[in-house]
Each structure stands twice: as structure tokens, then as C-alpha cells.
Structure 1
């Protein structure tokens, strides 16, 4: 639901009634993961997607039905269903979809509106909803903020709200969307409950060091992938808004000094395109000691070997050097700045999502990988 927060927030402000279908569970080769959403308003306008086209027609009908009947429901689509070909999910996967009506007079609308507002503004917030349990509790929302405060109620018991808020805050801190179950004893409810928690966090950072011609293309690729992109270079004549109009930030500073003072986290990717040892070495020596998602450096193989030697001389260990992606990018035969940017972006995606970087043709690896460190469903009890 939060993946289409900006549009839904606009619908809320306009006073529209709508229904939202959210993927709450997947199995096998499903085209989209938990949290993917499709919404339909009272006029039949559609935004979002839950399956990349496979079952959109059937989900559209469920949304219309939910608006008419005013109740939430969970539906399952999979290749083993008799109507799999009728609805179109023929990729071999299974998805479960929670469909929730959001009428103007709905009791939960204020909580959902606050969650959509936070996500649309890029603030840290998590939305927890009941996806399995008694019919009258399906879709009940709880908005949890980064400081642990929460809004709304899941409607069963105050202890349930507190427990779910704690679990949601942990997922929010990791920047992850995931599900979990509460046992009957832990939740003090008549039946076990399952929850989906959607996390809204600021976009991850991509910092491009070196205001070179390849950097402009990489900035565009980074923005396409959803990164907040910063270009940093010590040379003011090159690090200009005219050269990088699509960058979020342009910083004129020695790269290692900027890296030392700026905020990074385990989603940050660092791309070093400077081609100059006086910039590269102090920058990479600092970068390889940070808990970031990706560190890559451009250069020929000769430059790469010389760079490794210089880094060893300043105390970088072999273990730290093993984290360096250099020469940066996958082997696509790239030559132009745009092709090179594509090869770099592809390596970043493969690294972050656990892909092999190999062609899918003839491969027996899963098409949809589970990202490294992702959380599977777990059972929590007190």
C-alpha cells in the first residue's frame, strides 16, 4: 500500500472512496513481493499493480466488490487453482492479496491517511495490518513511527497493539517490509493472527564521487532505481548543476572528507569514478570500513591493481579489499557512458538482491531472489 502512497495520499485529500489490494504473501515465482499494491477509486480509476499484469483484472473486480460491500477480504491466486489460466497467474507462483475498502467515513481512514502522508513525505513509518485472523479484524491498521509511538488500534487487546508496535519498529529500523505471526497465548486472542508490516523509509543514498562524463549517466540510472543521488567532486568547475541537473545534491569537497561527515547506512551505495589516486586512495580506505551496501571503483585492470597496492600500503586489509567491486560494473561490453551506467546499476542490483549477474536463459537459479538478510515469517509469543 505504501508503494503507491503519493497517489493514495492525493485521493485522501480529494475525499475519494477507494479500495486497496495489497500483496501480503508470495510463494514460488511471484512477479511482485509483499507490499505491492493496486487501488481502485469509486469512479473505477486504477493505480498500482500487484502482479505485473497477471491477475490485475480479477483484483480490480475484488476492489470494486470491497467498495460495494464495505468489508475486507483475503484472496489467493496460484498456478494450482482451477482458474489459474482464467485470471492469468501462469508464472508458477502463488500470491495472497488483502483487499481493504477505505471509505470516507471508515473508522480506520484517519490512521491510513496518516500512514500515507508519512510515506508520501519520505518520513520513517511502518503500517501494520492484520492479514489472517477473524473476519472482523482483517485489514485493521496500526501506524508505528520511528520513535516507537503508534496510532490506531488492532481492535483486540491493548497488549496486542504494544507487541505489534515493537515488532513493526524493528522492521522499520531495518527498512524492511515483512510479515510475522502472533501465537494465541502471546496475543491473548481467540485465534492466531498474522500481520504484514510495510516500512516507509527515506530513499537509499547513492553517492557518486567524480564529476566525470560517466557520472551524469550514472546519476540518471540511480534516480531511475529510486536512489537519492549525490555527486561529490573537489573541482568546482566540474561539479555544477548545469552538468548534473538530475542529481539531488552536488557537493564541492574532497571526497574522503565529505564521506567522513555525511550520513551513510547499510543501504548506501558508493561509486568512485574519479580515476585519480590522490582522490581514490583516501576515499576507498574510508569507504571500505563503512557498513554500506556497495563500494565500487572505476578503472582499467592496471589501475585496479595499482589501486589495490596503494590501499594495502595505507593499511587496508585483504578482508576489506574483498568488498571492493573493481573494476566496477558487470561485463556487458559497455562503451558509452549510458551503457557503462547500465552495467554499474546492474551490478548494484545484483549485489543488493543476491543475483548472479548471469543470463536467465539456461539458468536454473530462481528468477525472483530473496534479498540477502530478508526476514521470513516468524512466530512471536510472550
Structure 2
């Protein structure tokens, strides 16, 4: 079953700040279908996307390539056809690994997204560069690493303040005309930046950070994307693993998370406790906490796809198990309320009252 982005038509006016204004017309029968039409890109994708950020050693440490390749195969077998990567992940390593997986696979059954932004120096330093020459050069390298002729979705990884927006859009349009990319968009842009980019080019997709404890984009970016039929694929929907239900709040981390406030002290323990409190609700639906949170995330009508980072087959089996699962409206808001920890995931009702 395919679905296009639905536009919300509420029977009664509600506050612009109300999350309920975004979920009024949720149709639980196809919110988590096997395939969706991804906004104006026209790409037919699974609502769960296999992310490869975990193959960036400077963030996550060394990961087993064998395990990740096995997980990619399991994802494909489970009906996940959408794979996300970037040249910044391991300075091209993630793209190379994904290219190994793609070799011999039916290309027409897979949708590949990658991103461009950094200029890489020989000493491993990097700096922002979305100049036309750099984009063209990186695109050719990325196609080679991936072993494909066309990138289905090409994203600008971050915003480059030095390159004129018209030049960037012209370059992306040129790559599209050459058949090197099928569609393009942005990642990590504010709604103001996205609106400005779209003045110059057909940016039909966006990849922002979002989780049920980091919902800032609900106030501006998601409504804008719904109005403009821009496909939204959120990354870190499990909040870098914190919403999976496997932490108690006493753990320590050897990767970049040890520097993040949400993984330290009382804040870490409070969120972990809140996540664990979802266990009875997850059991009600015969889901794990991970699957409950992922299902709830994808119920938001402004979110088309959740990009999940996968390190092994067990993780993809759990993520894929959320496809086709839905929860009731009442329980959706119960999840939101439970995760409203210390200002996170605050919900307003039609009267603007925080819950």
C-alpha cells in the first residue's frame, strides 16, 4: 500500500502550538504501511530507513562491518528498501560498506540517500564546502563508492553560509539533469534556511533531528513541510539509543554520548526511568519499548520516515518489527506525557496548557 503525505483538515480550530492539531486525521491503517510515497520526491520507500551513521568511528567507535552487512541483508529481507548514508560517516567508509551490500542487489528495489557537505583535507581535518565544484567532485566519488549510477536522494548535510544559494541549487539541478541524482533536499536546516533554499531550487526532502524527547521541529519545520509536501525523514528517533528501553540511567559510555547532557547524571536517570515506565503500555500491544516509541514517532503526520541506526541483525529485527504496528490516540499521548521529562516533549492542549 502506498500513501502520499496527507494534509491535515481539522474539523475545529485548535492552537497552533497543539500537537493534537498535527494528529487529528491520523489513519492508523496505513500510517506504518510497508511503502509510502515520500513527499514530492515521488520515491516509494519504507517508513523505516536503515541509517549508517554508526559506521563513523569518531562518533561511535569501531563497529563490525560483518555485523552491519548482515543487518543490511536482514533489513532488505524484512521489506526495508530505504538506506541512508553520507560521505562524512567515516570519511566515505559508510558509503563503501553500503556499496558492498548493494553489489548484486536489484537496484530497482532499493532507494539510496546520501549527503554532501565537508571538504576533507589530507590531515583528516575538514571544513564546510558546498561550492559547485566541490559538490560535483564529491558526487562522483560517492557514486563510485556506492557502485551505482544514480543517487535517489542527495542531501546537503548542513547549511553553508558562504556559498550563494542560487549556485548550490543550480548545481543540484545540473546533477539531476545529468542523471547523477534523482531528487535532492537538505539536512539539519532551520525552517528559515529551508524556505530560502526552496526559493532557488526543488528541495523536496528534509532530514532533521527528532525524537519524542527532542520535538522542537514540531512548532515550525513540520507544519511547513506538510504545507509544501516536503518529505521528512527524521534521524535519531531513538535519541541515540536512549529511547530503546535498554538503559537504567547508571551506564557510562565510551563514545561521543559521554559528553551529552542527556546521558549524564540526574538527567540521564530521569529519562531512562521515564522510558522504562512505558513497559506496561508496550506489553499491551505486544511490542518492545523500542517498537512502541518508534510506532508513536511515525504516527505524527508530519513525519514520513524514521532513520534508525543499526549495528547488528538483532537491532534491525526489532526495528522492522514496528512496521505495520499502531497504537491508539490515547496511548500515543500517554507516551508523550511519560517522556515529557524536564521540559522534553512538552505537549499543549487546545487551550495552550502544558501537560
TM over 0.5: no
Higher helix share: 2
TM-score w.r.t. the length of structure 1 is 0.27
Q: Point out the structure with max Rg over C-alpha.
A: 1
